Chains A and B, each alone.
Chain A
Amino acid sequence: GQNIDQPTEMTATEGAIVQINCTYQTSGFNGLFWYQQHAGEAPTFLSYNVLDGLEEKGRFSSFLSRSKGYSYLLLKELQMKDSASYLCAVTDSNYQLTWGAGTKLIIKP
């Protein structure tokens, strides 16, 4: 079966750096996604990793280790607008997505 774990909630300070972890066990692997979801809104795409390593995109970076079933999303220079839920999702061998429950990130001034 599929299983994805990520922390339920994290708190960080404006201007700081935060790392949101995601661990997974799936039958086959064809990539890992990170999505951002503001309260009351739809999820929006942040990143996609299929190979091991770090993908950097502005203030956001995503890391993947396939051998460890592990990923993290790194957010730098935090802004108040980064307060949102961050969803980890993994595609299996049939390209079906399994979603984590999401990590609610609270940014404090």
Chain B
Amino acid sequence: IAGITQAPTSQILAAGRRMTLRCTQDMRHNAMYWYRQDLGLGLRLIHYSNTAGTTGKGEVPDGYSVSRANTDDFPLTLASAVPSQTSVYFCASSEGAGQYGYTFGSGTRLTVV
């Protein structure tokens, strides 16, 4: 089934630890995105990639890094997790520049303690 796969589904992480959230899509979409969703705040863009080999910063990039070595994979890394990074993380992809809508992964629920 075509779509986006995120892993892990959920994780409890000790503060200060490094963590990589995985995201893989099989739709050959050029653009990919990482969002965090917190209660009452809606979806906030962390980082994005318009095409393989390029990345850009979103609204809340601090404490996160991404890479886009190929079209399919777009991992998000927390170098040293802090409790404020407790959130639900969604990976998404779009055809073109996003004007056709986004397809979302099922999300990763991360708790930093």
Contacts and interface: CB of A to CB of B under 8 A. Distances in A.
Interface stretch (B12-20, B68-76, B77-85, B98-106): B98-106
B104 A44 contact: yes
Contacts, number: 44
A21 interface: no
A75 B105 CA distance: 25
Given A41-B106, A42-B107, A48 B42 contact: no
B97 A95 contact: yes
A30 B98 CA distance: 10
A63 interface: no
Interface residues of B, number: 18
B45 interface: yes
Interface residues of A, number: 22
Q: Helix, strand, loop or mixed for chain B's interface?
A: loop
Contact of A95 (B44, B90, B98, B105): B98
Given A43-B102, A44-B104, A95-B98, 8 more contacts: A8-B40, A31-B99, A41-B106, A41-B107, A42-B90, A42-B105, A96-B45, A99-B44
Interface of A: 4, 8, 30-31, 33, 41-45, 48, 50, 87, 89, 91, 95-97, 99-102
